[in-house]
Structure formats: structure tokens, C-alpha cells
Amino acid sequence: MQPGTSHHGNHAFELAKESYAAVGSDVEAALASLAAVTVSLNCWQGDDVRGFEATDAELGGGLAVTGCYPGRAATADQLRADIELAYRLIPGRHRLNLHASYGEFPTQQVDRDAIDTTHYAGWIDWAKHLQIGLDFNPTFFAHPRASSGQTLTHLDPATRAFWIAHGQASRRIAAAIGRELGTPCINNVWIPDGSKDSPIDRSGPRSRLQQALDELFHEPLNPAHVRDAVECKLFGLGSESYVVGSHEFYLGYAITRNKILCLDAGHFHPTESISDKISSTLLYVPELLLHVSRGVRWDSDHVVIWNDDLSAITQEIVRGDYLERVHLGLDFFDASINRIAAWVIGTRSLLKALLAALLEPRELLQNLEQQGDLTARLALLEEFKTLPLGAVWDHYCQRSNVPGGQQWLDIVRHYENTVLAKRK
């Protein structure tokens, strides 16, 4: 029996199963579905998006990390150790989302257009040991050639060629990762290109981006090893008035080029949720990649919590039966709190919201809706909110050999005092 579990806890779980069964929900089926979900944790939460390149370039790209909480990972080994602790506190088996800037260059710095699989061998070996999958991202920021905020859309052909070569190298690395680990690696392309003030020419940069992406994706690679995704954004710091890679641009590109469309929960208007976009876009694109984040006014990268927006996202995925077509990843960074705790809070919150959605009596609710009984539909949805989800979640944690409740925080605190506090 795990620490903190008891016969009382098991009794609470059995009562919870009865409560859910009374409204037509199968708890065991929901838990089985949840156990099959993999979330791709974002490596950049652990070191404030710094990576391991020997460069003094500003982060840029509309990205900003605030806070100076002690214990930031400064090496790949430290980062991997921190991620492993987070995995031990999150139920289920999950993935890691790796940026190209996190390669390991022990002898000399290699510029981004010349990176190859050898620079990620440490990550691949580590993932094999943990039996997890890796996802990948070319890094189009924090580099001297990105200082203007323009990369694939740059007017200078040589600069565009450099970034195209970086994107091509990243795809090959992702394909090698997928081949080595036996699970497809999603390679997600996001660029920061845009304009702080309103440009005169909006079509020119988009035409250059389309051509650059076509060249970047030109090489045929095995989809069993690598899957290509493209990510849109509404605005960012330095691109408040115009982002080249808008939602409309990438939606059209993904549809016409058969790519995965990446929707980031923090990349749209503060009052706009990506949940309503899921069912529409999946009519036209094969799959979606969701970067689950939390927007607060202008800042899109707060630690994920279980709020109404997250509930709407997970409900839409489950109600539409999209779990097989939607890939889930995290995208946030907060240096004002313990970085490991941020991973755990964000991932557990996402999984709790998914569990709540999986426990809905979907068939019953859909039948009521089709029969026109909207009164019963609304009544049941409201009654459902007070069913004992906590007992089911704690039991799932127990089955997964991770702490339930807030007990995981004691483990993070111990690690903070014995490991993080000793880092300079």
C-alpha cells in the first residue's frame, strides 16, 4: 500500500464508483483511457528556456522568463534528473518535448544549421532507459541570426537559407529519434517572425514563409518516425501588430500540406479558447497538437491549472472522441516557483481535467441532447460537478505508484533542500 493510502481511501473509491455508476459512468473504463494518455512535458520549464548552447544571444522571439527561483538546471544531466523526479510524481507514462537548443556539445559549439543526431544521443539513451518517447522543436530564437525577430521570412536570402537548413536538420534529428525509440517524434515548427507596428506589406512575408516551409519539409521522411506540425500565434512581444504565421496561415498550410496543426492555448485572444477550434479543424487536418498553457492577459505561458478553459479543452477532446487524433504537450515556463513543482502541477491538472471529462456519462448526455431534452442535460451536468472525483483521482495515483493528494510536494521540498539548494 502506498504512503497516504488506507482502507478508508479504498472504501471512498468504491463509493465513488457507485456514485458514478448511478449516472451511467464507468469508472474503470475512464481510468483505462486515462492510463493510455501521454503528455509531452516541456523541457524548457526546467532551465528558463536557456538551453545548452555556448551563446550569449538574448532569448528574444517574444519570449520572457520572469523570476529567479533557486535551483535552475544548468546542465543536461541536472535537467534530466529534475524531469525524472517530475515523472515519478505524475501518474502514467509520459513523453518529453525537446528544443534543438538543448543539444549537448562537449567539444565545440555547432551552429544550428549543422546540428545532427549525435548532439542528442544523451537524450535518446536517457529516453530508452526510461522507455519514453521524445518530441522535438527547431529553435528559431535566442540566436544572433534571429536578433531582428525575422527568420524564415527574412528579406536576406542567406538568413532564410540558414534557418531553412536548421529546420531541415531538426526534421532529420526528429526522424532519428522516432526510429531509435520506436514511437513517432512530433517535430513542431514555430517561428517568432512579425512586426511590432503595422506593416505595409503583409503578403510578402507570408509568401516567403510558405516557400521556406515548402523547402524545409521537402525531404520525404518516414511518418512512422517523424510527424511534422506547424504552430500559429496571434501576437507576441515585438510582434504585437502582425504575426506572419497566423492561425489562418497555418490552418491553410496544414490542410494543403497534410501537416499536424498545433494550437497553443495561450496564442489566441485572451477571451478566445482553443476548445471550440478542435472539432472544426479536425474536419480538415489529420491530427492536432495542443500546447496546453494558461494565458493571463498578454502573457501566454503561465503554469497550467485546472480552470474553465482547461475543462473546455479536455471535454471537447473526450466528447468528440478525439483522444487518438490529439497530441497533448505542455508549454509554459515560470521561474518564480519551484520548476519541478510547476511540471507536476501542470501535468496533474491536465490529467485531472481529462479524468473529469472521461467520467462524464457521454452517451446519456448525447442521447438527451438528440431527444431535445435540454433540461435534463443541463441538470445532469450540474449534478455531475459534485460527484467524488477526488477519490477516483487518488485511487488512480495509488495504482500508478505515485503520491496522491498534496503528498508529492513533500518529495519536491526534500529534493529542493538536498539537491537544488546546492546548485549555484
**Opening angle at CA 90, ends 89 and 96, nearest 5:** 110
Asked about 56 being catalytic, the answer comes back as: no
The residue from 225, 277, 291, 395 that is catalytic is: 291
Report the chain's mean pLDDT, rounded to a whole number. 94
The residue from 264, 287, 309, 394 that is catalytic is: 264
- Domains of the chain, residue spans: 1-25+359-424, 36-356
The residue from 53, 231, 360, 394 that is catalytic is: 231
| Cα distance between the two ends of the chain | 38
The residue from 94, 99, 119, 267 that is catalytic is: 267
The residue from 26, 299, 306, 416 that is catalytic is: 299
Q: Considering only CA atoms, which of 241, 341, 326, 328 is closest in space to residue 286?
A: 326
Rounded-to-integer distance, Cα 167 and Cα 113, Å: 8
How far lies 349's CA from each of 3, 165, 353, in Å? 21, 38, 6
How far lies 293's CA from each of 51, 296, 329, in Å? 20, 10, 9
Cell of residue 390, nine digits: 477526488
The residue from 53, 309, 331, 360 that is catalytic is: 331
pLDDT, mean of residues 167-194? 98
The residue from 180, 228, 301, 309 that is catalytic is: 301
Residue 118, helix vs strand vs coil: helix
Asked about 269 being catalytic, the answer comes back as: no
In the predicted structure, residue 57 carries a pLDDT above the cut 70: no
Residue 173, helix vs strand vs coil: helix
| pLDDT tens digit sequence for 278-309 | 999 999 999 999 999 998 887 788 999 999 99
The pLDDT value recorded for residue 107 is 76
Rounded-to-integer distance, Cα 409 and Cα 379, Å: 37
The pLDDT value recorded for residue 8 is 63
pLDDT, mean of residues 379-387? 94
The pLDDT value recorded for residue 7 is 60
Polymer length of the chain: 424
**Using 50, 70 and 90 to split pLDDT, how confident is the model at 177?**
very high
| pLDDT tens digit sequence for 94-147 | 999 999 999 998 877 899 999 999 999 999 999 999 999 999 999 999 999 998
Asked about 116 being catalytic, the answer comes back as: no
Asked about 416 being catalytic, the answer comes back as: no
In the predicted structure, residue 3 carries a pLDDT above the cut 60: no
The residue from 17, 166, 233, 395 that is catalytic is: 233
Say which CATH superfamily domain 36-356 falls into.
Divalent-metal-dependent TIM barrel enzymes (3.20.20.150)
Residue 26, helix vs strand vs coil: coil
Asked about 28 being catalytic, the answer comes back as: no
Asked about 77 being catalytic, the answer comes back as: no
**Using 50, 70 and 90 to split pLDDT, how confident is the model at 4?**
very low
Write the single-letter amino acid at 379.
A
In the predicted structure, residue 236 carries a pLDDT above the cut 90: no
Asked about 385 being catalytic, the answer comes back as: no
Question: What is the tally of helices (H) and strands (E) in the chain?
Answer: 14, 12
The residue from 44, 123, 190, 393 that is catalytic is: 190
In the predicted structure, residue 218 carries a pLDDT above the cut 80: yes
